[in-house]
């Protein structure tokens, strides 16, 4: 099995640093004890209030940090209350941020959220600092009888968010496909394996068209109701040519409760 990347997206969890420390320790113990761990790289997308603590801890232990941010500012610095710039994150030793997660995008319940052009600026800000971006894309609804609608939505999202990005820079971007209807407590249902396979194939086709052919090191993660029961199955998904489809997972709910996270990791082979 090739290396798989798992991003634990804590969102606005956990409620204190004690539990946060426990969660990171569970991941470290998994790395240290599990035979398959060389194939699985775990990163935690944490609330930024915890970042300094974990960065210092990694420095003291002489380890590479395994935390990333959940979002980054559109601005490069200055009078923007509440924002964190890519440069600030880089100077603290952070290498990557999620961008364009559906919960940070413009929606009726999030009127100040990002539109595609802001996600594009955020990616460029990260790239400017030689950082990595994990770009989340996903349709809000899916009509099984009308693939044109969600496919053209995804294509537009990819084109807008990756506008003016060169193939060379794209090497520092990971795509996370997260169908919004399958995410979080409000999920209508989980995506089927077939839906995941077909949509990731479609995303790869779009990206190949945009970047002109083969894309070395293209990484696409899947997220949306991934849990302790379906994670390994999703990681194992293969296409018609027997090639693994998913390069990793973006995990929300199952990653921010110590009990669930322990079970989640122990169920991975």
Return residues touching ligand PGA (CB under 6 A): 9, 178, 183-184, 187, 223-226, 250-253
Q: Which is nearer to ligand PGA, 126 or 182 (CB)?
A: 182
Q: Which is nearer to ligand PGA, 176 or 197 (CB)?
A: 176
Which of 103, 139, 178, 228 is the catalytic position?
Answer: 178
Which of 95, 101, 103, 139 is the catalytic position?
Answer: 101
What six digits make up the tokens of 65?
């940090």
Shortest gap between Cβ of 182 and ligand PGA (angstroms)?
Answer: 7
Query: What do you get for the CA distance between the two ends of the chain, in Å?
Result: 10
Q: Which is nearer to ligand PGA, 183 or 197 (CB)?
A: 183
Shortest gap between Cβ of 253 and ligand PGA (angstroms)?
Answer: 4
Q: Would you call 240 a catalytic residue per the annotation? A: no
- The torsion angles phi and psi of 169, rounded to 5 degrees, stand at -70, -30
Residue least distant from ligand PGA (Cβ): 252
Shortest gap between Cβ of 178 and ligand PGA (angstroms)?
Answer: 6
Q: Would you call 80 a catalytic residue per the annotation? A: no
Q: Which is nearer to ligand PGA, 9 or 118 (CB)?
A: 9
Which residues fall within 8 angstroms of residue 161, CB to CB, at 6 or more apart? 99, 100, 116, 119, 120, 123, 135, 137
> Do 135 and 174 contact (CB within 8 A), yes or no?
yes
Active site residues: 101, 178
């Amino acid at each position: 099995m090739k290396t798989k990347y798992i991003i634990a997206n804590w969102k606005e969890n956990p409620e204190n640093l004690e539990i946060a420390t426990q969660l990171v320790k569970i991941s470290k113990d998994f790395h240290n004890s599990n035979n398959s761990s060389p194939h699985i790289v775990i990163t935690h997308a944490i609330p930024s209030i915890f970042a300094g603590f974990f960065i210092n801890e990694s420095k003291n232990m002489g380890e590479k940090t395994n935390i990333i941010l959940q979002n980054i500012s559109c601005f490069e610095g200055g009078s923007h209350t509440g924002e964190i710039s890519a440069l600030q994150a880089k100077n603290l030793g952070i290498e990557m941020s999620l961008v364009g997660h559906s919960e940070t995008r413009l929606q009726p319940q999030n009127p100040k959220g990002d539109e595609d052009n802001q996600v594009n600026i955020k990616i460029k800000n990260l790239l400017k600092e030689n950082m990595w971006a994990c770009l989340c894309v996903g349709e809000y609804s899916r009509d099984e009888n009308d693939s044109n609608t969600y496919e053209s939505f995804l294509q537009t999202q990819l084109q807008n968010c990756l506008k003016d990005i060169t193939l060379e820079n794209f090497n520092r971007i990971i795509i996370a496909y997260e169908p919004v209807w399958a995410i979080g407590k409000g999920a209508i249902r989980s995506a089927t394996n077939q839906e995941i396979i077909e949509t990731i194939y479609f995303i790869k086709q779009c990206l190949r068209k945009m970047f002109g052919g083969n894309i070395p090191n293209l990484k696409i993660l899947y997220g949306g109701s991934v849990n302790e029961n379906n994670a390994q199955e999703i990681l194992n998904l293969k296409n018609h040519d027997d090639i693994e489809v998913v390069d990793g997972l973006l995990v929300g709910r199952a990653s921010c409760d110590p009990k669930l996270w322990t079970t989640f990791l122990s169920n991975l082979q």
